[in-house]
Amino acid sequence: MKFRFYALKICLIMIIIFIIQVLFKEFTELFVLNQSSITSYQIWRFLTAIFLHSSLPHLLYNIFALALFGSILEKFIGSKKFLLIFFFSGVLANIVAVNFYLVSLGASGAIYGILGTLAIIRPLMMVWAFGFPMPMFIAAILWVIGGILGIFIPSNIGHIAHLSGIVVGFLAGLFLRGKRIRKKRIEIDEQEIRKWEDKYMG
């Protein structure tokens, strides 16, 4: 599995796109996900909205999480599988989010998909979250609890999109973990068996 630094490359793309958003205000409206995206059949917005951000703190938080956790996941499972999980989580999170929010943008759903996958395939990996070092699966549980509580607290954060992304990540992690277990078969050298038979069984 070659490490192609896709997580970092996506971060760079997001930075460039944010600069364009700042310079050209109408750019965001062309690619953001909103209610009219469905009625006008502009389905590409489910993808393009992942790369848009509402503010500089929003962007910085996402690229930090993506650069860190994304690179870790990419190293564990390979760059191609990483991309699949990133885009699949992001798009599905947007499909859910558009039913609850007037506007949806940002890579949070995709990033939560990465976090969910890591929580399954590397549950005991120590991470720094909420100001404390803790196992990845504990951090994931706290992120889920925080997302559920956040649904009932008025804010500009798309908690439903986050939860959708992390659920996709959990499922992807279970699939990858099951696939890895199936591959771990005991291989027996036939020549060694014959030697053992000749030696002990005549």
Tens digit of each residue's pLDDT (9 = 90 or more) over 18-59? 999 999 989 999 999 988 888 788 999 999 999 999 999 999
Beta partners for 104?
A: 33
Q: What is the pLDDT of residues 122-171, one digit of tens each?
A: 999 999 888 899 999 999 999 999 999 999 987 888 999 999 999 999 99
pLDDT of residue 35: 84
Residue 189 clears pLDDT 70, i.e. is over it? no
CB 103 within 8 A of CB 157: no
Candidates 199, 173, 23; CA nearest to 88 is 173
- Provide the greatest CA pair distance for the chain: 85
Residues 6+ positions from 110 with CB-CB distance below 8 Å: 50, 66, 86, 87, 89, 90, 93, 165
In sequence order, which residues have a C-beta less than 8 Å from that of residue 114 and are 6 or more positions away? 66, 69, 70, 73, 82, 85, 86, 89, 169
Model pTM?
Answer: 0.86
What per-residue confidence (pLDDT) applies to 186? 45
Positive or negative: CA dihedral 53, 56, 61, 65: positive
d(CA 91, CA 85): 10
CA geometry: angle at 114 spanning 112 and 120, to 5°? 105
Give the Cβ contact number of residue 125 at 10 Å. 14
DSSP string, 140-195: HHHHHHHHHHHHTS--S--HHHHHHHHHHHHHHHHHHHHHHHHH-PPP--HHHHHH
Q: What is the DSSP letter of 70?
A: I
How far is residue 87's CA from residue 116's CA, in Å, rounded to a whole number? 14
Amino acid type, 64: F
